[in-house]
Each structure stands twice: as C-alpha cells, then as structure tokens.
Amino acid sequence: MALHESLDPIYDQVVARNPGEVEFHQAVREVLESVGVVMGKHPEYAQAKIIERICEPERQVIFRVPWQDDQGQVQINRGFRVEFNSALGPYKGGLRFHPSVYQGIIKFLGFEQVFKNALTGLPIGGGKGGADFDPKGRSDQEIMAFCQSFMTELHRHLGEYTDVPAGDIGVGGREIGYLFGQYKRLTNRYESGVLTGKSGVFGGSHIRTEATGYGNTFFVKEMLSARGQSFDGKRTVVSGSGNVAIYTMQKVQELGGHVVACSDSEGYVLDENGVDVDLVKQIKEQERGKLAEYAERRRAAKYVPNRQVWEIPCEVALPSATQNEITGKEADTLVQNGCLAVGEGANMPTTPEGVRVFREAGVAFGPGKAANAGGVATSALEMQQNASRDSWSREFTEQRLEEIMISVHDRCYATAEEYGMPGDYTAGANIAGFTRVADAMLALGLI
C-alpha cells in the first residue's frame, strides 16, 4: 500500500536516521500506511509533529553483559532496552534472549508494543528489551549467571512506575525469577510490580504463561463470530511449539477447533488425530527436547523436517513463532488451501506482501498488535494485583483477559468501519492504537 504523500518524507527520515534496521522500517511503514487517513481529520497531529515524535524512542540503552560459563570462560553479550513511549503509562514490554537480537529487532518490537498496549485500554506505555544471548543448551547455573549480570546493569532503568519488563522468546518463568531476585538484591526493595511473568509463588498472575496464546485464540474467535462462524470443527495449524503455540493449541481445542500441526525451527509435526498438547508440553517445557521426538512417541503422527507448516491445508492459521514467517508465497498457499482466518500470535510474523494477499482474498486477518495483546494485558493485570497486594483466582483472571480481548477486537472492528475500511483489522488496530497515544501526547505537551 502506498503512503499518503505527506508521510513519505517522514518515512524516508526514519530510514535515514535508523540505517540497517529493516524490521523497524517495516513496522513503521505498516503503521504509516494506515494513519494517512487520520491526518486529514486531525491537523493538530501534524502541527505537533506527533508521527515524527512517536517514531523516535524516548530513550535507548545498550550495555555490555559479561558473565562466566561452566567451564570458567568469560563470555560477553550485548543487552538492550528501548523505552519507546510513556504517554499512557510506564514503559511495558518483554525481554528477548536470542542470538538474532540487535537494536533493529528491539526497536521494531518496542514500536509495535506502543500501539498494542494502547489497544488494551490499560494505562501502559511501550518498550522492549533483550540480549543476543542464546539460552539453548545452557545450564541453569549459566542462565542464572547471565540473568544476574544483565539485571545488574538494567535495574537502574527500571521501576514499577517507570519501566516494567516481562518475558519474551528465551525468557520464561525461570529467567524472570533470576532477574527479579537480582533486582531485589541490588535495590533492597520488594517491588514485585517491577517485573511481570513471575511465578505464582511470588506475585505472578495465574495465567500469564498462557495469556498470549489464550488471547490470540479469543481474538480469532471474535473475528470468526463477526462472520457468523466459530472454531467448532475448524482444521487449525499453529506454527511454533513454545509458550505461545502450546497455549494457543490448548485453547483452540477447548473451543472445539481441530489442531493438526505445530512446528519448531527444524520442521513440523502433522497429527491428523489432533495434536496432543500435553505431549508437546512435556517434550518442549519439561525435557527441553526437539519436536521430532513427538512423532517417535505418537505412532499416528509424522515429523516433516526442513519444511514449513503453512503447506498443510487448514481453515485457521495461527503463526506463533517469530517475525516474517509467512511471506506472500506462504500466504498464497494458505489461501488456495481454503484458509478463512489468520491470527498473529507472534510479533509481525506476516510480511507486508503476505498481509496484502490475505486482504485481497478476504481472509479475516488479526494483526499481532491486536491479536497477541493478551500477554501484555495480563501483565498489566499482574501489575494491578501487585499494586493492591492482592491475589486473583485463575478463573477471574481468565475472565478479565477474555473481556479485554473482546474489547480489543471491537475497538479494531469499529475503527475500521469508522474510517471506511470495514473488516480491515490491520487498519483498525493501527488507527485505534495511534489515536489513543497521539491524544495522550497532545495532552501532555511538548515533552
């Protein structure tokens, strides 16, 4: 989609000021393609240079993370925290530990987080962080050593009213525990609201682990309902086999969907009888093994190496692994095979060309900043519990999550209708998130 002529120079400036950060460029362009129509209705946004300001992080921190491995060798990694926008509340967004992490990845994720958090309707700003550390194959002692060194630098930038990280790829309950322990040690304060995704034994939310997958499923349920359909009997394919994918599959099955496949970085499993989610959890979460082992233990299933799960015919596709995993080619295949709905459990897993293919084919497409907002929404609920020194039941927390995801869907749907793009959830999400942040920035003045 072409940019509005008034936005072309802004986008060119973003690219020039952030060379080589292709994921960030992609995220910015995707938002700018939607908000051109907003600028005509709101000349005050242009006057206050809201777009230029919203594309520039409020603060970026890059730091060295030295630690010692089990062989006594000193290792050096690079840590990042991008505090993107705090107009609506403290910076909120996860930490990613993965070798692919660099400044452009963190900025793209932080930029997306600003609008995702705004869509929840909760008082949270947007940020993101992480490190180019690979936790795969590392012992618990090595993970703890890295987390403690990482937090030793990061802690000075955090606070429950300033910046509240959570988990992301490579950062689960174990890592959050080590990070919080070091924060507590360094500050001599039990600020349980300074990190979310904590264990339930020290202030965590009952369904934070499940929240992103559950939330994505709730959002797709609403998209299907808007078309007079449901998950009941729908053949569903999920990419990934980590936290988001596992709990996406679990909730889809609870809602009557038939999940036949999931994947990892080396291939995919096809199980026509329905994926055994408990077995995937055992292999990936408890044994930290490879998905290929699933087919060895379940005779009816087969493991297909070095192929993508999107070649399997399905009615619902739920990308839950990483960015840019569905290109135009994969989107074409999904459409030709009868796909009706796509919900992005991961952050920006569909390329712009893939989004175009889905839009033109009339596929119900839930963009990540809306569909996977359940994780951060539940993090904000965890912050509420911590601030009130309270503990909520699992049932109450899941009910609140579903209510929030329904409101996110309805906000995107109504905004798309208002701006003459009915059914375009991408435009609806971008515009609704952008206008909420923009209005708050105007109210706060030039800061």
* 138 CA to centre of own chain: 25
Query: Could you give the C-alpha distances from 391 to 338, 381, 383, 397, in angstroms and in order?
Result: 44, 11, 11, 10
Query: Are the beta carbons of 221 and 318 closer than 8 angstroms?
Result: no
Helix (H/G/I), strand (E/B), else coil: 130: strand
* 344 CA to centre of own chain: 9
**Cβ contacts of 359 within 8 Å, gap of 6 or more:** 365, 424, 426
Q: Please give the Cα distance from 318 to 248 (Å, whole number).
A: 8
Equal CATH topology for 59-189 and 210-371? yes
Q: Which residues of 315-352 are buried (b: 16+ CB within 10 A; e: fewer)?
A: bbbbbbbbbbbbbbebbbbbbebebbbbbbbbbbbbbb
222 confidence band (pLDDT: 50, 70, 90): very high
Joined together, the tokens standing for residue 47 give: 């006057």
Tell me whether residue 177 is annotated as binding: no
Mean pLDDT of 367-394: 92
pLDDT in tens, 146-195: 999 999 999 999 999 999 999 998 998 999 999 999 999 999 999 999 99
Mean pLDDT of 395-400: 94
Q: Which of 431, 436, 404, 406 is nearest to 416 (CA)?
A: 431
pLDDT of 2 higher than 70: no
Query: Are the beta carbons of 357 and 204 closer than 8 angstroms?
Result: no
Helices (H), 233-327: 243-254, 277-281, 292-297
Mean pLDDT of 110-130: 96
Q: Please give the Cα distance from 328 to 86 (Å, whole number).
A: 35
Q: Which residues are catalytic?
A: 128
pLDDT of 51 higher than 90: yes
pLDDT of 14 higher than 90: yes
Q: What are residue 408's phi and psi, to 5 degrees? A: -60, -45
Mean confidence (pLDDT) of the chain: 95
The class level of CATH for 59-189 reads alpha beta
Tell me whether residue 187 is annotated as binding: no
Count of alpha carbons within 13 angstroms of residue 84, beta-carbon side? 32
Other beta carbons within 10 Å of 268: 26
Angle, helices 352-361/22-41, rounded to nearest 10 degrees: 50
Tell me whether residue 234 is annotated as binding: no
Q: Please give the Cα distance from 27 to 30 (Å, whole number).
A: 5
**Cβ contacts of 322 within 8 Å, gap of 6 or more:** 169, 240, 346, 347, 349
pLDDT of 82 higher than 80: yes
DSSP assignment of 336-352 equals HTT--EEE--SSS-B-H
Joined together, the tokens standing for residue 91 give: 């910076």
| Amino acid in the structure at residue 260 | V
pLDDT in tens, 198-218: 988 888 888 888 999 999 999
The pLDDT score that the predictor gives to residue 269 is 97
Share of the chain above pLDDT 70, in %: 100
Q: Please give the Cα distance from 203 to 392 (Å, whole number).
A: 10
Q: Please give the Cα distance from 25 to 428 (Å, whole number).
A: 20
pLDDT in tens, 276-298: 999 999 999 888 899 999 999 99
CATH homologous superfamily for 210-371?
NAD(P)-binding Rossmann-like Domain (3.40.50.720)
Sheet arrangement for strand 302-305:
302-305, 267-270, 258-264, 235-238, 316-318, 341-343, 364-366
pLDDT in tens, 22-36: 999 999 999 999 999
Between vectors from CA 117 to CA 114 and to CA 381, what angle results, nearest 5°? 145
Mean pLDDT of 319-326: 91
pLDDT in tens, 230-276: 999 999 999 999 989 999 999 999 999 999 999 998 999 999 999 99
1 confidence band (pLDDT: 50, 70, 90): low
Mean pLDDT of 343-359: 94
Hey, which bits of 136-215 come out as E strands? 163-167
Tell me whether residue 212 is annotated as binding: yes
Angle, helices 374-387/103-119, rounded to nearest 10 degrees: 70
Tell me whether residue 116 is annotated as binding: yes
Q: Which of 181, 179, 187, 204 is nearest to 81 (CA)?
A: 179
Q: Which residues of 64-89 are buried (b: 16+ CB within 10 A; e: fewer)?
A: ebebeeeeeeebebebbbbbbbbbbb
**Cβ contacts of 399 within 8 Å, gap of 6 or more:** none
For the chain, domain boundaries: 8-54, 59-189, 210-371
Joined together, the tokens standing for residue 194 give: 């300074």
